[in-house]
Structure 1
Amino acid sequence: MDFIEELRNLSTNIAKQIENAVQIDRNITEEATKHAFVIPFIKILGYDPYNLTEVVPEFTADIGTKQGEKVDYAIFKDDEVIMLIECKKYGADLSDAHTSQLYRYFSVVNARIAVLTDGVIYRFYTDLEETNIMDSKPFLEFNMFDIQEPLVNELKRFTKPTFDLDAALTAASDLKYTKEIKQIMLEQLEAPSEDFVRFFLSSVYGGKRTQTVVQQFTGIVKRALNQFLNEQINQRLRSAIERGEATEDAIEVEIADEETEEEHESRIVTTEEELEGFFTVKSILREVVTADRIQHRDTIRYMSVVLDGSIKKIICRLHFNSARKYLGLVNEDGKHERVEIASIDDIYNYADELKATVQRYDTPEQKTETYDHETETQTIK
């Protein structure tokens, strides 16, 4: 089994563990996170968590007069500490408080790579800016629920068979600054700064560049950049369609990009609440279909729970990105109806409706379905 398949299998297993915990209302503690999520991840990286010459749990990282400081795992290779891993319970906020704890450990241990994780999100840090002082921002963030092949290739650098510190640090530098430049580009696409607007003005506008002109061109620059990106994406999709290479996923990228422009957003963030809602729906539907057929597709505004990975088989939508939570149900006519819910547990009140939707998709006589992305309406005839 290759590296990416091992990660995907672990991802599936983690999802099942979380789903089971939600079903029986059990809290996933830090120790449970380490045992069920993190140790298998360490094994996939090629290190033996039961061999103390490779993985040392509760590794001492005393700081000055402060004794008893311990990092959860220290990874060794050739008798040298190469990586520190600090674990928090699943769903924990990997905020500055936890980062500062790892920051202290990093300064007293001879390791150049430090990892902060909740068993799903893995943030990798090093000391690119100042030797032996951990950077405030990670150079790599890996999400077990969003396994992307380019990031998998970067993660491979930290596996036991291929680990090379110099190569890893070079890659870390590229990743860190590429990520930060992309973030700057994202910010400029959403809200162009005055300097950014003036850069374009200097090439296209021959008049006096007053503050009023800058303000006028701010909107023009923003629209032009978004239109340019959409045109590039659409052109590539059309070329792929002509070659017969376009997939449903590629078409959804185009749709997602259009939503990005409308919402002035550029990234999809899958929240813990959305995942909990998804696992709740999945547990309800296990009575009528196998769990592996229930999947999710996230967008900026909502998460869709779908059957067999098809956007044409939407079971429900989770609108959890505002102060109020809504569950989007699909009625017999294929129309979407939103109902407000006070908590995620309220989803159980609509178990019958969710099961009925799945059973309609699973009927022997397949109905003709159309989906209008403009009006977000699904019609079944």
Structure 2
Amino acid sequence: MDLIDRVNEISKRIKTLGTTLQTEEATKNALIMPFIQALGYDVFNPIEVIPEFTTDHGVKKGEKVDYAVTKDNEIIMLFECKKFGAELSPGHASQLYRYFSVSEARFGVLTNGATYMFFTDLDKPNQMDAKPFFTLDMQKFEKQEIDELKKFTKPSFNLDEILNTASDLKYTNEVKKILNAEVENPSDDLVRFFTAKIYSGRLTQPVLEQFRLIVKRAHKQFITDKINERLETALAHPELSVKDNASPSVLLNEVSVELDNGVVTTEEEIEAYNIVKAILRTKAGASRIVMRDTKSYCGVLLDDNNRKPLCRFHFNAKQKYLGLMTDKVETRVPIESIDDIFEHADKLVETLNEYG
């Protein structure tokens, strides 16, 4: 079962059990322990998931943080839990803040079972940041957020990789919040910026309010137009259609990628991808076999993870090559037609098995 399926199960549990969870312990048992388990950590192994973890801190002796998660005998995450429905803010993470500075953990998680705030020390070493770099709402999430969550799973956890992307993720989320606020209620600065480019008259308060409505309407129309363009592309090319129930923000993100990177996915690459997926789907769920196109080659990955390449298609020249992977090292094999990929089925399965 993929991570997104496990998260969906917990999300359904929130809907059915949420209002019955009146205590912190009930929230832990019903929601938070299953969440930690979904990340691949054994909540019934006190060596791997330590409940009521204690680390003395100055004059604060015997204080406990709810869970400490370990990997390879090192503490990697601390969880501070609140009861379901409790308000969450960095100010409610006092114990987590104290424990962070005296343990080797680089990630602290504040949660009420429905929302998970992930903190680290981007601003000052060994001091937990005031703001989370990643927040997951279990009742309203998008695919890219599950991709970020995958980095915290036991099989994928890599401290350096997470820290390398944490800063970008933190500030990207902050910018998204600002953009969302500007779309809903454009600020005076933004309205003046646009108005100055298209209006030569004096900017009085009535004019400002008139253009505020225009800017708000233009923002939303711009987003709608981009979504419609993406949907029209999907209808014209069903093999490239977006996933069911994709949200507008996901669609807009896909549009941005298509507009910005200049990559064109050919019908041959799509056909080749479908052949690889057909070969491997008996060994791994079809949803785990993901195509990611670039300007130089078209790659097929396991779990949409760059560290798990399955093969590559080099179809941009007269001679086509299939890139086969051994220990993540590529060997190019010339092929005459897309059907030749079937001749390398055993090698593709072997590569898949390398990732467990």
User: 2:93–2:110: 8 Å Cα contact kept in structure 1?
Assistant: yes
Change (3 A) 1:234 1:58: same
Name the residue aligned to 2:6. Answer: 6
Q: CA deviation at 1:130?
A: 2.1
Q: Secondary structure at the match of 2:93?
A: helix
Matches within 5 A, 1:175-194: 175-194=169-188
- Per-residue CA deviations over 1:99-140 (Å, capped at 9, x if unaligned) read 233223223322211101122221111122222222222222
C-alpha displacement at 1:56, in angstroms?
1.4
Q: For the structure 1 residues 211 and 6, does the alpha-carbon distance in structure 2 shift closer, same or farther, using more than 3 Å as the test?
A: closer
Q: CA RMSD in A?
A: 2.9
In 1, the alpha carbon distance for the partners of 2:66 and 2:16 equals 24
Q: Deviations over 1:178-203 (max 9, x none)?
A: 11001111122222223222322343
SS of residue matched to 2:144: helix
Please give the per-residue CA displacement for 1:226-269, whole angstroms capped at 9, x wherever unaligned: 2222222233334434556588746x969xx9xxxxxxxxxxxx
Deviation at 1:177, TM superposition (A): 0.7
Matched length: 248
Uncovered stretches (5+) of structure 1, i.e. residues with no partner? 258-381
Amino acid corresponding to residue 7 of structure 1 in structure 2: V
Q: Mind listing any 5+ residue stretches in structure 2 that lack a counterpart?
A: 253-356
Report the equivalent of 1:83.
77
Give the TM-score, by structure 2 length.
0.61
Partner in structure 2 of residue 37 of structure 1: 31
Tell me the CA shift for residue 94 of structure 1. 1.6
Contact (CA 8 Å) 1:192, 1:222: kept in 2 or not? yes
CA distance in 2, matches of 1:81, 1:248: 38
Contact 2:42–2:48 (CA<8 Å) still a contact in 1? Answer: yes
Structure 1 counterpart of 2:217, which letter?
R
Do the aligned partners of 1:47 and 1:54 also contact (CA within 8 Å) in 2? yes
Instruction: State the alpha-carbon separation in 1 of the partners of residues 189 and 141 from structure 2.
Output: 36
Pick one of 61, 64, 68 that aligns with 1:67. Answer: 61
> Are residues 1:53 and 2:52 paired?
no
* Contact 1:8/1:147, CA 8 A, preserved across alignment: no
Q: Is the 8 A contact 2:21 2:27 kept in 1?
A: no
Equivalent in the alignment of 2:149: 155
Candidates 209, 215, 223, aligned match of 1:221: 215
- Distance change >3 Å, CA 132–CA 47, structure 1 → 2: same
Which secondary structure does the structure 2 equivalent of 1:135 belong to?
coil
Q: Spell out the pairing of 1:300-379 with structure 2 (5 A cutoff).
A: none
Residue 74 to residue 198, structure 1, CA distance change in 2 (3 Å): same
Give yes or no for contact 1:87–1:118 (8 Å, CA) kept in 2: yes
State the distance in 2 between where 1:199 and 1:16 align: 47
> CA–CA distance in 2 between the matches of 1:206 and 1:147?
43
Give, in angstroms, the shift of residue 73 of structure 1.
0.6
Question: C-alpha offsets along residues 315-363 of structure 1, whole Å, 9 cap, x if unaligned?
Answer: xxxxxxxxxxxxxxxxxxxxxxxxxxxxxxxxxxxxxxxxxxxxxxxxx
Choose from 94, 98, 111 the match for 2:92.
98
- Supply the AA of the counterpart residue of 1:115: V
How far apart, in 2, do the equivalents of 1:28 and 1:212 lie?
51
SS at match of 1:81: strand
Contact 1:114-1:125 within 8 A present in 2 as well: yes
Q: 3-state DSSP class of the match of 1:102?
A: helix
Alpha-carbon distance in structure 2 between the residues aligned to 1:53 and 1:125: 23
Residue 165 (str. 1) matches residue 195 (str. 2) = no
The DSSP-based 3-state class of the residue aligned with 2:155 is coil
SS of the counterpart of 1:71?
strand
CA contact (8 A) 1:192 1:221 kept: yes
Identity of aligned residues (%): 51
Aligned partner of 2:116 in structure 1 is 122
Task: Provide the residue aligned with 2:230 in structure 1.
Answer: 236
Distance 1:231 1:172, change over 3 A: same
Structure 1 residue 93 displacement after superposition: 1.6
| 1:136 and 2:139 are equivalent in the alignment | no
Q: Distance in 2 between matches of 1:7 and 1:226?
A: 31
Seen in structure 2, the aligned counterparts of structure 1 residues 157 and 146 have a Cα distance that, compared at 3 Å, is same
Corresponding residue for 1:110? 104
Q: Distance in 2 between matches of 1:128 and 1:248?
A: 36
Instruction: Give secondary structure in 1 for the equivalent of 2:145.
Output: helix
CA–CA distance in structure 2, aligned partners of residues 176 and 204 of structure 1: 34
1:11 deviates by 3.2
Q: Which amino acid aligns with 1:69?
A: E
Tell me whether 1:195 sits opposite 2:195 in the alignment.
no
The residue matched to 1:65 in structure 2 has which SS?
coil
Q: Which has the higher contact order (CA 8 A, sep 6+)?
A: 1
